[in-house]
Amino acid sequence: MKKSELIDELIERFDHMSVRDVETAVKIMLEHMTESLAMDNRIEIRGFGSFCLHYRAPRTGRNPKTGESVSLGTKYVPHFKPGRELRNSVNNALLSDLL
Amino acid sequence: MGCLTKADMADRLCNELNLNKRESKRMVEEFFDRISQSLINNEQVKMSGFGNFDLRDKSQRPGRNPKTGEEVLVSARRVVTFRPGQKLKERVDKKQSRH
**pLDDT value of residue A44:** 98
A75 to chain B, minimum CA–CA distance in Å? 7
For residue B78, which of B60, B64, B57, B93 has the smallest C-alpha distance? Answer: B57
Residues A42-98 pLDDT 10s: 999 999 999 999 998 888 888 888 988 888 888 899 999 999 999 999 999 888 877
**Chain centroid to CA A95:** 25
Closest CB from B23, B78, B84 relative to A93: B78
Smallest Cα–Cα separation from A76: which of A45, A49, A43, A40? A40
Q: Which of B31, B93, B94 sits opposite A10 (nearest CB)?
A: B31
**Could you tell me if A84 lies within 8 Å of chain B, comparing CB atoms?**
no
Smallest CA-to-CA distance from B14 within A5, A23, A29, A8 is with A29
Give the per-residue pLDDT at B99.
47
The model's pLDDT over B3-33, given as tens digits with 9 standing for 90+, comes to: 999 999 999 999 999 899 999 999 999 999 9
Nearest CB partner across the interface for B4, out of A28, A43, A49: A43
Name which of B57, B5, B7, B29 is nearest A36 in CA terms.
B5
Summarize pLDDT for B27-77 with one digit per residue, the tens. Answer: 999 999 999 999 999 999 999 999 999 999 999 999 998 899 899 999 899
Please list every residue in chain A whose beta carbon sits closer than 8 Å to the beta carbon of residue B82: 51, 78-80
Residue of B nearest to A87 (CA): B79
Q: What is the pTM of this model?
A: 0.89
